Structure 1
Amino acid sequence: MDRSSQLLDEALGIVDDTSSMVSSSFPSSSVVLIEDCVETSGAFVIHHILKRSLSPPSSAAVVLVSLSHPFSHYDRILRKLVHTFALSLSFVLFSQGCNLAAHRDNRRFFFCDMLMVDFPRQGQGNVSKGGLIELYAKIQKVVEDISSSFGSGKCITIILDDFSLIEVAANGSLNHSLDFLRYCYALTSEFGLGLLVHTSCGGVYPLPSIQGCSLVILHHEDIYSAEESAALILQMEYLADVVIKAEPLATGLAADVHGQLTVLNKGIHDQLRSSKSKVHNFHFKLRENGVECFYPGTQA
């Protein structure tokens, strides 16, 4: 793998197992929060995660809940992205592009298009909360179907793009947005650890254990006033195992650098390992076929 992509993977906690050819996904049951701003979009991290999750040697499944773009948007971008994976010192697997339509047909990629959903409008009482409940039920149903179809050993990554529009769907209700966030967060533990799931009818049934269910959230940090954003952002950062901030350069605009990333990896504790928190800081440059990450001062 080229070093520029490896910087971002290391910060995210993505590790390739060359001996067993298993997974290039996140550690089990992790939550990744991507915070960006108007000047610097963090959407490229979503695209990178999609590509890594669906490219060899990973066998993970991805559930993308999009409130901001149609399927064609992601498909067009992913077809251009390049990913390389070193199977050994002498053999490198080169992956050109990613066909989301093919992965959708193979039931590894599930796209929830929320652009055309008519969420209840303001003044309709608790119906606004009902819209988010229906959305969560749809996500849960997809995860259940993946679990029942593939059994144990399947990694699932749920991507919310973007969470800022969840609050719009909830008619500006912070409480309903937080409830939805906590429900999605619960999936990372319920499915990742094979716990019991409570149905809407009050019943309880066991689910087959899967290798892990991770949650990736894109959120625009600077669209709120300080008071409005405090509760939501603090809750999201508290739940996240990895917090990524995409920001403009502190020194101003540069032709060959598009922004800087600060990645706080709190250390993900699972059955196999326990790691300490670590902060990564590097610059990035967006290219048509991917993103180039590098430490400040290392680019000529």
Structure 2
Amino acid sequence: MNNEAIEEDETRVSDCAGRVVLIQDCVETSGAFLLHHLMKRKLSRESSEIVVFVAFAHPFYHYDRILKKLGCNLVTLSQKGRFIFFDMRKLDCLDEVGGGRTKSGLVELFHKIHKAAEVIASPETKICITIMIDDLSLVEVAAQGSSSYVIDFLRYCRTLTTEVGCTLILLNHEDIYSNSEESTLNLELEYLADIVMKAKPLATGLAADVHGQLTVLNKRSINEHGKIKKRIQNFQFKVKENSVEYFYSGSRT
């Protein structure tokens, strides 16, 4: 097993300025740990990055409790301006206007994110900004099932990766749709993403010391000849209380 190689790959994913990172998970295997650990890296003392966190799934104290175990105090980081939290759990994205529907809720949310990014972004300071959304399936619920409104919202957010160099990290539950139904949102997400991380259960079933398998697709990996190509890697992982252990399949006995 080559732990250094795996840690290097994880660092490449976290150091992904100007990219869209999509975390896909399922009911059997949550990918929330990836969101937490990417947040930890970006809020570490060695980093000067600022995280704009858009929460649809959980309140502030939920993430504060988890990040404290990982060595980050979100209350302190919020006071220092390094962690900006938008609690959108009660957002109703659609308003009834004259019998029709508008997407004013998502438009207003994008303007909040855009304003926060503009205030932070400065050519002089060169501070990196990461925007995280913790549950895209709940964004679609808030939009009353209108995936087209959610897709428009995500396209707007993606413009910030080029406009101000933001990183966009999204968590989505891939299996909320039936197997026979292709999700327009899922297809669009995989198209928009530069890096796709999929957490799935083991093909062989449950194991005491392995919690699942992780597939990382980097669409913009640069090879030794300086050319851009797709790169796919597969790991297994075990989530611990304050860390995650990654290893290659078959490296454990």
Decide: shared fold, TM above 0.5: yes
Against the structure 1 CA distance between its residues 114 and 10, is the aligned structure 2 distance closer, same or farther, given a 3 Å change threshold? Answer: same
Separation in 2 of the partners of 1:297 and 1:41?
22
Out of 169, 172, 191, the residue aligned to residue 216 of structure 1 is: 169
Separation in 2 of the partners of 1:280 and 1:50?
22
Map 1:69-80 to 2 at 5 A.
69-80=58-69
1:188 aligns with 2:161: yes
Separation in 2 of the partners of 1:258 and 1:62?
28
Partner of 1:126: 101
Name the aligned partner's letter for residue 182 of structure 1: R
TM-score normalised by the chain length of structure 1: 0.77
Partner of 1:61: 50
Separation in 1 of the partners of 2:170 and 2:60?
18
Map 1:1-300 to 2 at 5 A.
4=3, 7=6, 10-11=9-10, 13-14=12-13, 25-81=14-70, 97-120=71-94, 125-127=100-102, 129-148=103-122, 151-192=124-165, 213-226=166-179, 229-267=182-220, 275-300=228-253
Partner of 2:244, secondary structure, is strand
Deviation at 1:290, TM superposition (A): 1.4
Against the structure 1 CA distance between its residues 39 and 9, is the aligned structure 2 distance closer, same or farther, given a 3 Å change threshold? Answer: farther
Separation in 2 of the partners of 1:5 and 1:126?
52
C-alpha deviations, 1:36-85, integer Å up to 9, x for none?
0000000000001000001132111111101000011111111111xxxx
Partner of 2:52, secondary structure, is strand
Name the aligned partner's letter for residue 277 of structure 1: K
Gaps of 5+ in 1: 15-24, 82-96, 193-212
C-alpha deviations, 1:85-142, integer Å up to 9, x for none?
xxxxxxxxxxxx1111111111111111112334446796323x11111111111111
User: Does the CA contact (< 8 Å) of 2:42 and 2:51 recur in 1?
Assistant: yes
Deviation at 1:225, TM superposition (A): 2.8
Percent of pairs identical after alignment? 54
Separation in 1 of the partners of 2:58 and 2:67?
13
Partner of 1:215, secondary structure, is strand
Tell me whether 31-40 or 116-125 shows the greater mean CA deviation.
116-125
Separation in 1 of the partners of 2:139 and 2:182?
14
User: Does the CA contact (< 8 Å) of 1:5 and 1:291 recur in 2?
Assistant: no
Q: What RMSD over aligned residues (CA atoms) do the two structures have, in Å?
A: 2.2
C-alpha deviations, 1:13-46, integer Å up to 9, x for none?
24xxxxxxxxxx5233111000000000000000
Q: Which has the higher helix share?
A: 2
C-alpha deviations, 1:175-208, integer Å up to 9, x for none?
111101101111111112xxxxxxxxxxxxxxxx
